[in-house]
Structure 1
Amino acid sequence: MKIVPFEMERWQSTWENSVDYNLSESGVQPIPLRELLRDEAATERFLDHPLAYSQGNGTPELRSEIADLYRGATPNDVLVTTGSSEANLLAMWHLVEPADEIVVMLPNYMENWGLVQAFGGNVTPLRLREDRKWQFDPDELSSLVTRKTKAIAICDPNNPTGAVMGDAQRKSLLDAAWDSGAWLLSDEVYLGAEREGPRTQSVWGDYERTLIVNGLSKAYGLPGLRIGWIVGPPETVATLWGYHDYTTLAPTYLSDRLAQIALARARREEILARTRSILQRNYTILADWIRDHGSLFSYIPPTAGAICFLRYALRINSSDLAWRLLKEKSTLIVPGDHFEMDGYIRIGMGDAPAYLTQGLERIDALLRELRAEKGKA
């Protein structure tokens, strides 16, 4: 099997730990272990856990906490994975056969875009439109989905735009799935990371052939636990557990126990409130910075996620811009090329205010040099 290079992950994995300022990250500041455990007694109890294998599909306790997030779900509807990336892999591995037609929302994280092709399927793009505030056209979706469509893959809230799917789009999505019998694969890893507005509504419970992918990396600020999950029909989840046997086998024992702490109902609401507070605080910094640049940048304010997707008015390829910023200013952003959208950049805003401000100052320094170069040309 030939894989399609996952350009954004290659870019981030290669450079994110060696730059001075990583503004490519789409989550918020990670929660320290001591803060998650909270008190000395809990820390001591945690240190007594054995470094053992954990249950392959996730402990019943953790699957119960995850099921509580979805109306009517039970632990049998849940498979715990090593991050949401593995969840997407398992779902696509199971769903896609050679020549299958898969409708994929674009732009998105691009993992599913690559996986469909790797497994021999054909990607049919469902484009989000900037002139629709990063919503898709329901009529276009209706024309794309046919009885041959095996699955529809969405990302809501969306990465990289931060948009949340509108009511008309949601209705058209469910109608298209019902009419075609296609599977609906919904990546909801930014659900709970809303900067403003209500909590995004999961598509779970509206259509039987639905698989939900989520995890603790983004909205919960716990990427180091590498805990993700799939929620779906029990028979399908049981099948996916068999695929999981060939990948990571089981979540780590300690991560499973820490995830139980984070997802306990009262605690998870505290964590999501922390995330919203970080986003509201830092978006003000980023929005002021964008405004100070006048017509250089244009954008639709993100509703969710620690990300902002900016169109820029410079005559330079987005990957070239990101490369110069990396090599000359030791600052990492994500070029729009990684979403097949040159002319845009994605900036992460989830870190400490001083860190974000200093990273933006590095971008300013490069912008000044680009303007000076243009003046000499």
Structure 2
Amino acid sequence: MNLPPFKLERYFAKYEFNTEFLLCSSDCEAMSIADLLAFEEGAAEKLQNTWLGYTESQGSPALRKEICNIYTTMQPENILVHTGAGEAIYLFMHAMLKDNDHIIVHSPHYQSLSEVAKGIGCQISPWLAREENDWALDLNELRHLMRTTTKAVIINMPNNPTGYLMSRTDFDELNKFVQEKKLLLFSDEVYRESEYDPAIRLPAACDYGEHAVSLGVTSKTYGLAGLRIGWIATKNKKVYENMASLKDYTTICNSAPSELLAEVAMRHRQKLIDRNLGIIKTNLAVVDDFFAAHSSLFTWVRPQAGSMGFPKLLKGDIEKFCDDLVRKAGVLLLPGTMYDDSRNHFRLGLGRKNFPQGIERLNEYLGKKQVHDSPIFCKICNYSYFPSIAGESEHHEKFHESAVKGIQIRISKLDRVIAKNNDYQLIIIDSNSTLPQFNRLNKISKFISASLFRDNFTYHVRLLFPVVPEHKFFLLCTKSRIIGYFDIKFFPKKHR
């Protein structure tokens, strides 16, 4: 099996322990062992008397009993404890999938939710959450992604990095669909119990039936990443037994002190939830004000749960912006390219106590940019931009050229594709054909995407036509389909 570098983890390895403000952390504020033990009388003494021998491979009975309280129908024999959530993901993929199996994966997502299966030889179809739909998933699209070789649907709810949470109606329908199609549902629920409104909390997938596997961990909602304790909950005996057998080849069993500390944490998890939700909600108020003050530079869909959101940078290039920010201000943001997102998003972490100070530093950075840089106005583009914003000058130059030349679109070896939305349709036709006239072109700004099947023949297409410079675009074409991430204002071609 050949796995590519884990882009997100390599990015954090470069910056995490030498940067002052981590404004992109995925977990909530941690605490000391002493603070955790203070939740329970006698816990410190139990820890001191913990035997440092091997532990039960499935996880200690006491810990599994406490984990069951997160669910409604689970028993200790349904819980398999792992060393973090990463091990559980890895073992599930190897236990239940094989070469040429097909899986459908909620996207954007944590890289291992697809890459491990891809390394096995599976075919992956992203089930794309779209920003213009508030990051919601379309169940009709799921039906169209199905193949005869489909074995599993992989979801992450609440979602990393968007903070999206599916409605109860849709979640019920999803579980029904998976059961009817005799698939497995792997439900990454590491941010469950961090909903800003407890009334919208979804049931755990494992409580719907044997088709589902729920993934949990102490790291995210509970803020105890250092324990390295994760688990799966499932009534599916085949999944459980296959994963337990493979675990003999990885960690065999878990750390005895970590299991005891996790047991204490699960027994008092509501205290951890309340503490961390308090931090998140305080930080949400701070960032709401920040985005209101910088509405010309950022936009976002406010998350519903979890300790992160996925805002968008409207000007410049996100990778250059993040690099410049960490070097000059000591503030780390995670570019969306770590999630294979090409639309200038970045991950913003909401779970740390020093978040307000980090936002203040970010404000200072943006203020210095504006003080030391006068805007330049381009008459041709009718656009003002700040050259010191990372990537802004290059971005303007590219679209300035397109506005001047008004070059028509030509796509080689591409079949006719029509991508529709409510305001207009984009029509791309065969080789040497050009873009037809649009209807209702004036000041339309919409997102278009077309689902397609991947193959090994990818064409990179150069698009040059009159646009407003601050709107970026990205396009990949395969032999017969188009992937499009469009966020562009189209205008009629100018004849000079």
Instruction: With the length of structure 2 as denominator, give the TM-score of the two structures.
Output: 0.72
CA contact (8 A) 2:296 2:314 kept: yes
Which amino acid is 1:89 matched to? Y
CA contact (8 A) 2:94 2:120 kept: yes
Give the deviation of 1:278 after TM superposition.
1.4
CA contact (8 A) 2:96 2:239 kept: no
Which amino acid is 1:257 matched to? L
CA contact (8 A) 1:219 1:272 kept: yes
CA gap of 1:209–1:41, structure 2 versus 1, over 3 A, is closer
Counterparts of 1:140 and 1:23, CA distance in 2: 33
Give the deviation of 1:368 after TM superposition.
4.4
Q: Give per-residue Cα distances to partners, 1:340-365, cap 9 Å, x unaligned.
A: 2131011112111xx21222233334
Give the deviation of 1:210 after TM superposition.
1.1
Where 1:205 maps in the other structure, the secondary structure is: helix
Give the deviation of 1:205 after TM superposition.
2.2
1:248 to 231, 247, 251: 251
CA contact (8 A) 1:147 1:181 kept: no
CA gap of 1:7–1:277, structure 2 versus 1, over 3 A, is same
Higher RCO by CA contacts (8 Å cutoff, separation 6 or greater):
1
CA contact (8 A) 1:12 1:24 kept: no
Where 1:204 maps in the other structure, the secondary structure is: helix
Counterparts of 1:55 and 1:259, CA distance in 2: 15
Aligned to 1:20: 20
Give the deviation of 1:369 after TM superposition.
5.6
Give the deviation of 1:65 after TM superposition.
1.3
Where 1:62 maps in the other structure, the secondary structure is: helix
Counterparts of 2:352 and 2:193, CA distance in 1: 17
Q: Superposition pairs for residues 193-208 of structure 1, below 5 Å?
A: 193-198=194-199, 199-208=201-210
Aligned to 1:271: 272
Give the deviation of 1:185 after TM superposition.
0.3
Q: Superposition pairs for residues 81-96 of structure 1, below 5 Å?
A: 81-96=82-97
Which amino acid is 1:175 matched to? K
Counterparts of 1:90 and 1:121, CA distance in 2: 15
Give the deviation of 1:126 after TM superposition.
0.3
Aligned to 2:32: 32
Counterparts of 1:234 and 1:261, CA distance in 2: 28
Which amino acid is 2:361 matched to? R
Give the deviation of 1:286 after TM superposition.
1.5
Identity %: 30
CA contact (8 A) 2:205 2:213 kept: no
Q: Superposition pairs for residues 1-377 of structure 1, below 5 Å?
A: 1-38=1-38, 41-198=42-199, 199-232=201-234, 233-264=236-267, 267-316=268-317, 318-342=318-342, 343-352=344-353, 355-368=354-367, 372=373, 374-376=385-387
CA gap of 1:298–1:52, structure 2 versus 1, over 3 A, is same
CA RMSD, Structure 1 to Structure 2 (Å):
1.8
Which amino acid is 2:16 matched to? E
Which amino acid is 1:202 matched to? A
What is the count of residue pairs matched by the alignment? Answer: 372
Could you say which structure has the higher helix fraction?
1
CA gap of 1:336–1:52, structure 2 versus 1, over 3 A, is same
Counterparts of 1:91 and 1:41, CA distance in 2: 37
Aligned to 2:455: none
CA gap of 1:44–1:74, structure 2 versus 1, over 3 A, is closer
Counterparts of 2:43 and 2:214, CA distance in 1: 32
Which amino acid is 2:319 matched to? S
Which amino acid is 1:242 matched to? S
Moved more, 227-236 or 255-264: 227-236
Give the deviation of 1:330 after TM superposition.
2.2
Aligned to 2:494: none
Give the deviation of 1:70 after TM superposition.
1.8
CA contact (8 A) 1:71 1:204 kept: no
Q: Give per-residue Cα distances to partners, 1:34-68, cap 9 Å, x unaligned.
A: 11111684323322223222212101111111122
CA gap of 1:69–1:146, structure 2 versus 1, over 3 A, is same
Where 1:364 maps in the other structure, the secondary structure is: helix
CA contact (8 A) 1:101 1:148 kept: yes
Counterparts of 1:166 and 1:146, CA distance in 2: 25
CA gap of 1:119–1:366, structure 2 versus 1, over 3 A, is farther
Q: Give per-residue Cα distances to partners, 1:302-325, cap 9 Å, x unaligned.
A: 111111210121121x22222222
CA gap of 1:5–1:370, structure 2 versus 1, over 3 A, is farther
Where 1:19 maps in the other structure, the secondary structure is: coil
Counterparts of 1:338 and 1:258, CA distance in 2: 32
CA contact (8 A) 1:22 1:332 kept: yes
Gaps of 5+ in 2: 375-384, 388-392, 394-496
Which amino acid is 2:242 matched to? T
Where 1:260 maps in the other structure, the secondary structure is: helix
CA contact (8 A) 1:138 1:168 kept: no
Give the deviation of 1:226 after TM superposition.
0.5
Q: Which runs of 4+ in 1 moved over 4 A?
A: 368-371
Moved more, 365-374 or 162-171: 365-374
Give the deviation of 1:366 after TM superposition.
4.0
CA contact (8 A) 1:141 1:172 kept: no
Counterparts of 1:234 and 1:64, CA distance in 2: 18
Give the deviation of 1:223 after TM superposition.
0.6
